[in-house]
Structure 1
Amino acid sequence: MPKQRITKEMVVDVAFEIARKGGMEKVMVKSIADKLGCSVQPIYSYCTNMDGLREDVGNRARSFIGEYIVSHIDKNDLFRSTGKAYIQLAKEEPYILKIFIMQERKNILSLKDIYETETSPQMAEVIAKGLDISVECAKQLHLNMLIYTIGLGTIFSVSSPGIPIDEIFLQQEQAYQIFMNDTLRKREINNENSNHL
């Protein structure tokens, strides 16, 4: 039987599965070779250094998360359900979330840069339309919830034996209400100022 040709895609797939089950620290050339049933040589030919492989696994985690969120959102409650989907991800795929969070973000000089890197440009417009607020207010509300949800998800994914998910959802909902009330208060102030002009 001819030997199987090992491809870079196969190496990344196996590295991702290892990281998904045990964390990035479990991704080693030997463990990848063992899973592929080959020597370490083909792995080294694609991974001149582990940083490149970690970046590939991080990109795969980012894609996985995007697909996961899309499959778990409620189109009738897009904003809230997206936040809940991140928390559900933290419960079901804690290592994937850790990989995503720990992935280096280059050329980030502000929270605005993070927002533009981590979100869909249309999301702020959807939020603005749904809540009847300006796009700028929607971006700030979304950024607040993004920061808060990632923080909650991180706490949730590293807690042992674990915080009940309902407690996390309740905390998330309370934050949403606080941020939302602040956004609506600012909208009222802006409307009053506009009426006085």
Structure 2
Amino acid sequence: MRHKVYTREHILKAAYEVIAKDGFTNFTARNVAKKMGVSTQPIYLEFKNMQDLKNTLVETVYEDLKKKVFSVEHTGDKLMDLAINYIDLSQKSPKLFIALFIDNYGGGKLMYDQAYEHFRHTIHDHEEYANLSEEHLKALHTGIWISVTGVAALMSSGVIEPTRQQIITVVQQTIDSILAIEAKKQENNE
């Protein structure tokens, strides 16, 4: 009789299905194994522990999101498109969005760090942001992150239903405000 071999990819796919349905609340070896119809043994043969599986899953999912979701063009402004795509993800896949970006047990700091690196890479060649220091880039990222997460959360809970143009306006006002504050700081330091 042949044994079925479960690869990292099989385990990651099952783990993804668990978080897409239930978030990280029920993210256990038993639930991932149940999704695959096997014991937990293959999971622990491929991953050191559940934290290793979780970290690998978050990184894998973020790479997938970068290619399939965060790269979609809407306005031609890469920074604006990134913000819109983040909000769109919250609407198309609310449970996944919450699991990755909101849930205490979710992607958390790892997801935030991945998002920051992607943000830096995305705006790297953007003339408007070319001369920003690392401190200014972090301030811009944090401000946009807070703004779009707020919009996404309020939309997901049905509290607000902004148009695409209203979303663009909010994001642009956030960007402009942060850049103005950072420019003022720089002026005061000179």
- TM-score, normalised with respect to structure 1: 0.68
- Aligned residue for 1:195? none
Kept after mapping to 2: 8 A contact 1:68/1:89:
no
Deviations 1:114-151 (A, max 9, x none): 9854523350541517xxx8434983545422332133
Deviations 1:21-79 (A, max 9, x none): 22122332233223322233323333443212211221122223212334422362322
| Partner SS, residue 24 of structure 1 | coil
Within the candidate set 152, 161, 166, 2:162 is matched to 166
- TM-score, normalised with respect to structure 2: 0.70
- Aligned residue for 2:64? 64
Kindly name which structure, 1 or 2, has the bigger radius of gyration based on alpha carbons: 1
- Aligned residue for 2:144? 145
Matches within 5 A, 1:4-153: 4-74=4-74, 76-101=76-101, 102-105=106-109, 116-121=116-121, 123-126=123-126, 128=128, 134-136=131-133, 139=137, 140-153=139-152
The CA deviation at 1:2 is 2.4
The CA deviation at 1:86 is 0.7
- Aligned residue for 1:3? 3
1:176, 1:56 → 2: CA distance?
34
Task: State, as a whole percentage, how many aligned pairs show the same letter.
Answer: 18
The CA RMSD over aligned residues, in Å, is 3.8
Q: Which segments of 5 or more consecutive residues in structure 2 lack a partner in the other structure?
A: none
Q: Which segments of 5 or more consecutive residues in structure 1 lack a partner in the other structure?
A: 192-197
- Aligned residue for 1:194? none
